[in-house]
Structure 1
């Protein structure tokens, strides 16, 4: 889309004025020709059907070529960005030559589509020039005959021929901006298509504003499948109730739907069946911006925007004072880490937080969530990137925070799940077990098997067949 915006911007800044002036000139000269001599103007107008037919034929072939070129340049840019971003992975797996060939193939495809569009343009506009010259010759022959017969003066014929030159000259000028015009039109169409894409979470007709949440959460027969999942559902009739102030850990194998539950609760998606309710209200009936203002979200891979450490923490509350920012950092155990940076809270985090380690980014994400003082806290394996010492500090701070609000934790580390008020085990998008850590261990069900595998020494784990581990996890 960046190239589409650039093409549209370039045409509006440079080509649009030329196009408007040329079109007005053509119309003005045509009126002048009719005033000078209507009979000769009629001779000229005979060429217009040919010009219109040639233009229609040109557009029939050129527009698809330009559209294909825009699609191909988007693929080229996406491939370039992906390879530059993941250059370390490319180098580690020795894919430089292979990726270079793939990029070259995309680039040559773009080149071919651009050349095809240029060939169409290189054929059409010389034809227009030829048509203009031919029209001038016909007018000259007809006019010369009228001069000899005394029906037309030589001065009138010369004036008509000079104006005729002005008639076709602007059309030649249009050829200079036509390439930019076509790219702008195609880009505008793609942008319009993007802007008209309906939201996946449409706003309610009469949204209900919630100033404060008690934190009661209910999943009532929720089913959901991602758009690109081929119709396969991730959640199947999920029923789950979370009491206000309760901390619930979601546990399950990869693909069980634990992270999807968090996304539905944040209303990044709407369920395909059933309802997600908070404080008895369907999320689809709430004011979305107001509801999310009462949420705190810490994803597994937090995104930090460019700016300082202070800006990263205050992202959800830009008006927060320095004292409030520091208090939030202390609450999650991030202050000591920040104080160790060269510029402290004024340290630049870089694009996507690249100047910080994964653990440091996670700590800032926790502080960011704490600063907004949410009523419902969503932690998607928020301590996965932390070392053990930092994890212990964050776990202690998080436990204190959870006592004041409803918290949903996606926990792949079972030590995190053990600290929750209740553990919910998901399998294939449904709840298979629910209870406290102690109760589930005593039940000796799926959670007990996961816990035993978690505690199993590495040497014992290595001697266990992989197929057996998979079978145990899937039960």
Structure 2
């Protein structure tokens, strides 16, 4: 709340003025009745009426001010909160996103923040005014008449007990409702993302049923909260009526006995109505308050989530890299699952292109992710140019990397924007030069608008090969010292693969390049091939050396080229 102190203090001051003005009206009415009506003094009546009108106008002005001030402050708080959430989401490691559903994450930024927004805009002022008014009226009741105050206060124990149980039960109900709406959002996001598969396998009916079941579960949780409100609100109204009736009966006897004035009794009845009104108002905003409380707790949980790639106490700035990469007895496991890497030791000299091959789950992509420091090893260390990656400034280090994933992700914008994503200040000439360097310029020229061609969400209006070429141009533009290619051609047809491979060779150049390869033609062109097997390095050498070795890699190659006899010599196509 740093920076919001002054506006909040002003808002509290206006709330206090609003509450005080509402407390003054019964006093002025009492004065008008006792000093004016009873004594037939018209001047006292006019004076009370004039002061009452002034009080109402002051209260009206205070309400305008407090609503505007609280609203503006609330929007500033929410704006700051959204920025903090977004920054935290960018800091968190990939492990968080692998264990959390996307829909649940989106709920934090949308539904949970919206719940806070609704409460800050509509409920906060009402809550402040109600609390101040409630305690102010308690004091006024005691000042006017202690005996009648004791009659009213008899209703407080059942009110407190009911409020306690209502709050405890409603908190559970709203926490359950928030959890279930997160599940509904997650299911919706997954269904939309996988719509092609859903329709291809004719799973629309089961998808609708699953969504209906989740929505019904959310509805039942909300109905539970509404049922609690339907019991609590009328009970508060009942206590208010009982207190008013008791005061009226006792007050009438006191007026008849001459120990209480008529104006005091009227003022007391007005105060009783005002006394329970704040409780009812608080109950009415309690729904929003509970939702906001649950949402705030979930947002705080997200903001307190530790990142798996913590920054060093004194990180080393990275201006450039030679590209020497060393894995020193590296172990790694995704959460509590089976280890993905075991005792991996590997030295890659600067400028070398290394292809990692092996079966799915062998640990190829994990090695590349450790170099990018998307994860930290659970044992051993990874060094670049002799420095442990955990000691480097992560932002400046990643500026020296070029990353091309298996599925090139392109953000909305133009093709030019997509290429310049890692270097927004690049000129048009530099963007075009990067595209030409990887052989993407001719492809881009065929697009409607060329470099100004609009790229749809995730680049879905481009082919896989076009997206991959643009991703390579994006990597080329940042002029990386280390290039990481994670199965960049796995999903491409042979013709497109050949084009992308040529572009990859251009980008690799003299840089240190790590390639995760499913197709062995990609591995055959590398300076060095590392075969991974169950998280360990099984074979290491050039393509020709591994073929001569006659081990697992040679078997994979024979299978790939369709050799009939294992004993026959295998020709290299490198």
Aligning the two structures, in what range does the TM-score lie when normalised by the shorter sequence? over 0.9
How is 1:431-442 mapped onto 2 (pairs within 5 angstroms)?
431-442=537-548
The answer on whether the counterparts of 1:362 and 1:386 sit within 8 Å (CA) in structure 2 is no
Gaps of 5+ in 2: 1-107, 566-574
The answer on whether the counterparts of 2:485 and 2:514 sit within 8 Å (CA) in structure 1 is yes
Structure 2 distance, partners of 1:13, 1:336, is: 54
Choose from 231, 235, 247 the match for 2:341. 235
Q: How many residues align?
A: 457
Q: RMSD over aligned Cα, in angstroms?
A: 1.6
TM-score normalized by structure 2?
A: 0.77
Alignment pair present for 1:341 and 2:447 = yes
Structure 1 distance, partners of 2:439, 2:114, is: 45
Per the alignment, residue 467 of structure 2 pairs with 361
Choose from 393, 399, 409 the match for 1:293. 399
Structure 1 distance, partners of 2:235, 2:408, is: 58
Structure 2 distance, partners of 1:345, 1:290, is: 28
Per the alignment, residue 471 of structure 1 pairs with none
Alignment pair present for 1:351 and 2:457 = yes
The answer on whether the counterparts of 2:330 and 2:343 sit within 8 Å (CA) in structure 1 is yes
Structure 1 distance, partners of 2:430, 2:302, is: 39
Per the alignment, residue 321 of structure 1 pairs with 427
Residue 193 of structure 1: CA displacement? Answer: 0.4
Gaps of 5+ in 1: 462-475
Choose from 402, 410, 413 the match for 1:307. 413
Superposed CA offset, 1:207-238 (max 9, x none):
111111110101111111112xx431010111
DSSP-derived class of the 1:234 partner: strand
Alignment pair present for 1:450 and 2:450 = no
Per the alignment, residue 8 of structure 2 pairs with none
Residue 376 of structure 1: CA displacement? Answer: 0.6
Structure 2 distance, partners of 1:182, 1:222, is: 47
Change (3 A) 1:231 1:390: closer
Structure exhibiting the larger radius of gyration computed from Cα positions: 2
Choose from 358, 362, 372 the match for 1:266. 372
Superposed CA offset, 1:231-253 (max 9, x none):
31010111111001111000110
Structure 2 distance, partners of 1:174, 1:217, is: 62
Alignment pair present for 1:156 and 2:264 = yes
Choose from 109, 112, 115 the match for 2:223. 115
The answer on whether the counterparts of 2:468 and 2:500 sit within 8 Å (CA) in structure 1 is no
Residue 288 of structure 1: CA displacement? Answer: 0.7
Higher normalized contact order (CA 8 Å, seq sep 6+, divided by chain length): 1
Structure 2 distance, partners of 1:421, 1:142, is: 100
The answer on whether the counterparts of 2:174 and 2:294 sit within 8 Å (CA) in structure 1 is yes
DSSP-derived class of the 1:302 partner: coil
DSSP-derived class of the 1:275 partner: strand
TM-score normalized by structure 1?
A: 0.93
Residue 45 of structure 1: CA displacement? Answer: 2.3
Residue 88 of structure 1: CA displacement? Answer: 1.6
Per the alignment, residue 189 of structure 1 pairs with 297
Alignment pair present for 1:8 and 2:116 = yes
Alignment pair present for 1:394 and 2:500 = yes
Moved more, 396-405 or 291-300: 396-405
Per the alignment, residue 315 of structure 2 pairs with 207
